[in-house]
Chains A and B, each alone.
Chain A
Amino acid sequence: MKVEIALDALPRMLAGIGLTFQLLLLALGIGTALAVLLLLMRISGRWWLSLPAQAYCYVFRGTPILVQIFIIYYGLPQFEWLRESVLWVVLRDPFGCAVLALALNVGAYVTEILRGGVLSVERGLLEAGAALGMSSTHRFVYITAPLAVRIALPAYGNEIISLLKSTALASTITLADMTGIARTVVAETFAPYEVFISLALVYVSLAWLIQRSMHRVEARIGRYATRRAG
């Protein structure tokens, strides 16, 4: 273990933190929007909406994200028509491919997280809402959604940390995120232990940061529900 190699590698790897965060935030944003759409499809009560959403979640949760990245990056360009379409603007770029793959994947997981939240909202509350003459849309927006979000939040925070780690896979398709830079440094120094251990420390600190901020968000959103002694 040579400490100076680790210390040299650290600032270089941190140069990729911006890209890691871009991947994280874009994939999270797009994925969450997708998840809301899929959730609405799943709980719509119409089979022709619910079934495709179920199939989607099944497929994307049932395949490794690395395989999904490879299919999107190496597989899709095999189709000539795709390379001539507008989609190529996104798919030509490894960054676009990585965001797409991560977003599609995270969308499937967040759908299930949100559905768990929705299902755990007490029936009695919805019946009370109906008794007050609220329409089903009103009940969803004013009763189900706020409660479901609060319930789903811890699992959602978990998913963000999981996504942070998945961004490292983008380095397999030529992106110079923190992991990509680390692999290049390893290739130059032939010192995998030193470099990857300092990389692991960076990820751990980021995960800790996300966990702390999610705690604060949870505390804020759940401030009316917190029981206080006395």
Chain B
Amino acid sequence: MQKRTVTLLGLVAAALVYGHTATAETLRVGMECTYAPFNYRTADGKLAGYDVDVANGVSEKLGVDLEFVCQEWSGMIPALLANKFDLIIASMSITPKRMEQIDFSSPYRVSIGRLVGPVGKGWQLFGADGAPIAASFKGLRVGVERASTYFEWFKAKLPDAELVLYDGAEPMYLDLKNGRVDVIMTNPMKAHLSFLSGEGKGKYEFVSPAINEPKYFGPGVGVGLRKGNEALRDKISDALRQLIREGKLEEYALKIFPFPIHDDAWAN
């Protein structure tokens, strides 16, 4: 009887040890899985996009396995903090506010925003100098994603706009098409590829210049991870710099866009 208990305990211990080593080599990566063309599922259910390519490139450099976890945008940082996954590779911009909670690697993509609205409304939303005209935004219904850098920018710069908050990009685009919001603020690369050059062609257009304010949008998009993992963070930053030097990031971008979406200076 006792012998059996000992064997059983041994098995449990072995399982625990084995289980532990298995997780040590696998990093769990959180992303939305619906944010085309950066992270999304293809028709046959595989994950693809720029973020996914970057994640795979980094994992190759680090020699670890990846496990992708799909998570709604607004819960991304809480989920990372709650240990649902180890890394955020989800087009998340590096901002001071987020850095109070989590750490970021060096950037791997530029971070800008732009407004999209229906064609032919004749709105004068931005002046010739590219600055927004506050009066034009009064009462304008603007769709932004909850917990996005665009939301922070609007709150600070144009408090008179009527902000409508979404938990993801897809429902926001739907409501723009349905006329529930007047304009949306979004990632111009995404807007161009998944909307303006396809379904929205001729009916919707950019109604603002590209807005690039590092104060709100940060220096770029990085890999997010829990604080206290400095060694891993530095390894990931190194891997990203190598990917830039080897031309891999450019290669990933050119699969989707006719231009690279990183800054070569980040390699130094």
Residues of chain A having any CB pair with chain B under 8 Å: 74, 77, 83, 92, 94, 172, 174, 176, 180, 183-184, 186-188, 190-192
Q: Is the CB of A92 within 8 A of B180?
A: yes
Cβ–Cβ contact A187 & B180, under 8 A: no
A172-B167 contact in complex given A183-B74, A186-B74, C-beta closer than 8 Å? yes
- Chain A residues near B78 (CB-CB < 8 A): 186, 190-192
Q: Are B165 and A180 in contact (CB under 8 A)?
A: yes
Point out the residues of chain B lying under 8 angstroms from A77, CB to CB: 174, 178, 180
Contact A187 B171, beta carbon cutoff 8 Å: no
- The 9 tightest CB contacts between A and B, nearest first, are A187-B147, A77-B178, A192-B78, A190-B77, A190-B101, A187-B146, A174-B164, A187-B74, A190-B78
- Knowing that A183-B74, A187-B146, A192-B75 touch, tell me 16 more A-B residue pairs with CB under 8 angstroms: A74-B171, A74-B174, A77-B178, A92-B178, A92-B180, A172-B167, A174-B175, A183-B167, A184-B146, A186-B78, A187-B151, A188-B97, A188-B147, A190-B77, A190-B98, A192-B78
Q: With A77-B178, A192-B75, A192-B78 as known contacts, state yes or no: A174 contacts B147, CB within 8 Å.
A: no
Q: With a CB–CB cut-off of 8 A, which chain A residues contact B179?
A: 83, 92
Q: How far is the CA of A94 from the CA of B164 in the complex (A)?
A: 10
Q: Would you list 14 pairs from A and B whose C-beta atoms are within 8 A, ordered by A residue?
A: A92-B179, A172-B167, A174-B165, A174-B175, A183-B167, A184-B165, A186-B74, A186-B78, A187-B146, A187-B151, A190-B78, A190-B98, A190-B101, A192-B75
Hey, which chain A residues are within 8 Å of B164, CB to CB?
174
- Per the 8 Å Cβ criterion, residues 52-99 of B in contact with A are 74-75, 77-78, 81, 97-98
| B166 beta carbon closer than 8 Å to chain A | yes
**Are B77 and A183 within 8 A (Cβ)?**
no
B 86-116 to A, binary, CB cutoff 8 A, 1 in contact else 0 = 0000000000011001000000000000000
- Contacting residues, chain B, for A187 (C-beta < 8 A): 74, 146-147, 151
For B81, what are the chain A residues with a Cβ–Cβ distance below 8 Å? 190
Determine whether the beta carbon of B165 is less than 8 Å from that of A176.
Answer: yes
For A188, the chain B residues whose CB sits under 8 A away are 97, 147
B residues less than 8 Å from A180 (CB atoms): 165
Q: How far is the CB of B82 from chain A (nearest CB, A)?
A: 8
The residue from B146, B171, B174 contacting A183, defined by CB atoms under 8 A apart = B146
**Which of A83, A186, A190 touches B178 (beta carbons < 8 Å)?**
A83
